[in-house]
Structures are given as C-alpha cells and as structure tokens.
Amino acid sequence: MLVAAALGSGTTLAQPPGPAVGWGDNTAGVATPPPGLYLAVAAGSEHSLGLRADGTVAGWGRNRFGETIAPPGRFVAVAAGEWFSVGIREDGTLATWGRDDLGLMPPPTGTFVRLAAGRMHLLLMRADGTVLGIGNNLFGQINVPAGVFVDIAAGEEVSIGIRPDQTLVAWGPTALQNVPAGMFSRIAAGYGYGMAIRLDGSLAAWGTPNTPALLTPSGTFNELSCRLGWCIARRQSGPLVAWGSVSPAALQNVPAGVTFSRFAAGSQWGLAIRCYANCDSSTQSPVLNVTDFVCFLNAFAAGSTTANCDASTTLPVLNINDFVCFLDRFATGCGT
C-alpha cells in the first residue's frame, strides 16, 4: 500500500527522514527494516518497501517475483501490492517491478504525482488531478470516474478518491459505492470496506456488514493506513492505534510514543518511521532530552549510518553537517 505513504497512497510529504520500525507477524523478515533513514514506507502482501533519505528504494521480505529488488535511481514515492512494487521517479515517470501478469508492466508512459496500490491494481494521479487505473479489473476498480481528484486510495478490489470539494467517490464493488456524505481529508481502503477521516478528525467507515474494521475507535485522527482486515491511524495527540481483523502481534504490539510520522499497514504487520531527533526512542515526557544527544554522539562515534543525518554520500560521510542536521531536527521537534 502506501508509502510515502501510504498510506494507501504512495506520496511523499515534506517531513524529515527517520529510522523505520516494524511490528506484527515477521514472516520472511517483512517487519525488520534495514538500518538507515527513510522518508516513507510501504507494505504489500508479503514484502515491504522503504524510500531512503537519498531517494533510493530498499525492499525486504519475501521476494517471489523480484518485488523487493528496486531498479536503480532516485524516487519520490513508492507503493506495494500483492507481489509487485511501483515507484514514481524524480522526473515523475513510473517504474514497476515484481509480478508481471497483472497488466502493470511495462508501466504507462507520462508523468504522475501520486499513486496508490491495491492487491492487484494501481491508481495513478496526474498533475492535473485526473487518475489512471491499471491492473486487475474484476470489480471495475480501475474504471475511474471522470473528473479530478486531490487524493486516491486502493484496497483489495476497491478504489476511493477525494474530489476537490473534499467529498468522496468510490468505484469497484457496488456495495462500497455508497460513500458517506460530508467532507474528508484522508482516505484508505481494505478488504470490503473504505475508511476516511472527516474534517473534524473523526473516522467514517463503510462497506460489507460485520467487517471488524468498521468498528472504528473514537477520537480524532490526522492520518491512516489500511490493509486487508485492519487499519492503523494516528491520533491528533500523536500515538498510533490499530483495530480490525489481523494477527494479535500486529494489534497488540503497536509501538508506543507520539513520535511517528509516516506509517503503513501490511497484510499482517505494520511499519512506521520514527522521529529522527528521538534517537533513544524514549516515550516519557519530554520525549526529546539530553539522552538523545548522547545517543547521536554514540552513533556518530561508532560510524553508524544512523548518524548520517544529512544523508550525504560524499566522503567523509559523517561530518560536521550531520551535527548541524541533528540540531535542526531536535529544534524542529517531533510534531506530526
């Protein structure tokens, strides 16, 4: 699903990179991100992707069709589906890799600004807001309605978009096309349901009756990601919360704290990017304190890639610029 994202959508935002963490079912290592700093993460059915601070893409987990082996080059967004991966390059063109029997390869020509990956289909948004759908079309999930959008999300066989007036449109299974009224800021989709955040921060859910994910938590939220039967959302106060039908390890081991920026729900695991300045991963208040400086100094002394705050590649990789970078991140804090 997402990546820089997504959360269902694969978009990158103007947020600093940070270390990635994973939790839940770790079959094939899907919940064990490689060390380094990431701008975004994406989780598919059996593999994970991370957009590194330097724009390259890391892949890990099960590699059935080459879905974890990203092509060279720099990207601004990534997304993951069932055994396939996709990314938008710096010039806006698309790259796809992995399973090639879904009509996703070779990728369509043109330039794109946003993407969302479902289980076997893909939505691509152009700069003018129009959306292209490719891949499996069993339920009409790539039959994009006319008009323009400001956001898109793709689930197992469903697609959702937000119009410029912030209303919802869904296409795919008929049962999911009866979207809730109102205005919305974020969307996601899973197996047989849609999820959205209203402008007041509350959650709205619709879809197949008796779907566990429809039993949404109360409160206000500012970001979400869904996959199959479960969702992750970030409360406006900062912490992540998960609900729905998924392995107990995914529901019960959501990382604590208020310092996560981007996150993604996989089929049985979750990924999140931790605030870089919170080097010691503390959760007590104040989250940022002198121990974070000690943590950074120790990482620098050990030559750890974690200390490469500015993501430089010139030698020496670790230098005074990384100290300045860390101080800037510390001053910025861990706001979401």
Q: What are the boundaries of each domain within the chain?
A: 9-274, 290-332
Model pLDDT for residues 171-204, shown as the tens digit of each residue: 998 878 899 999 999 999 999 999 999 999 999 9
Flag the least confident range among 2-16, 56-70, 184-198, 244-258: 2-16
Task: Give pLDDT, residue 309.
Answer: 86
Model pLDDT for residues 98-139, shown as the tens digit of each residue: 999 889 999 999 999 999 999 999 999 999 999 999 999 999
**DSSP assignment string, 14-33:** S---B-EEEEE--GGGTT-P
Task: Give pLDDT, residue 10.
Answer: 47
Nearest to 65 by CA among 120, 124, 142, 9: 120
Q: Give CA–CA dist 181/165, Å, rounded.
A: 12
| 246 touches 24 (CB < 8 A) | yes
Nearest to 168 by CA among 128, 205, 125, 130: 205
Phi, psi of 221 (to 5 degrees): -135, 160
CA 118 to chain centre: 13
Enter the tokens of residue 102.
Answer: 């879904």
The three-class DSSP label of residue 62 is coil
| 167 touches 151 (CB < 8 A) | no
Q: pLDDT band at residue 282, thresholds of 50, 70 and 90?
A: confident
Q: Give CA–CA dist 77/221, Å, rounded.
A: 23
What does the DSSP 8-state code read for residue 34?
A: P
Task: Give pLDDT, residue 3.
Answer: 38
Task: Give pLDDT, residue 17.
Answer: 86
Q: Which CATH architecture has domain 9-274?
A: 7 Propeller (2.130)
Task: Give pLDDT, residue 95.
Answer: 98
What's the pTM value of the predicted model, to 2 decimals? 0.90
Question: What residues are paired with 87 via a beta bridge?
Answer: 78, 95
Q: pLDDT band at residue 7, thresholds of 50, 70 and 90?
A: very low
Amino acid at 199: L
**C-alpha torsion sign, points 37, 319, 13, 107:** negative
What does the DSSP 8-state code read for residue 249?
A: H
The three-class DSSP label of residue 43 is strand
| 233 touches 224 (CB < 8 A) | yes
Amino acid at 292: D
Reply yes or no on whether the pLDDT at 290 is more than 50: yes
Q: Give CA–CA dist 158/222, Å, rounded.
A: 22
Task: Give pLDDT, residue 11.
Answer: 41
Q: Give CA–CA dist 38/18, Å, rounded.
A: 5
Model pLDDT for residues 24-60, shown as the tens digit of each residue: 999 999 999 998 889 999 999 999 999 998 999 999 9
* pLDDT, greater one: 299 or 332: 299
Q: Compute the mean pLDDT over every residue in the chain, rounded to the nearest whole number.
A: 91
Residue 166, phi-psi category: left (phi > 0), alpha (psi -120 to 50), beta (remainder) = left
Which of 3-7, 174-178, 271-275: highest mean pLDDT?
A: 271-275
The three-class DSSP label of residue 299 is helix
Amino acid at 123: L
Task: Give pLDDT, residue 9.
Answer: 41
| 142 touches 121 (CB < 8 A) | yes
Q: Give CA–CA dist 152/139, Å, rounded.
A: 17
* pLDDT, greater one: 130 or 276: 130
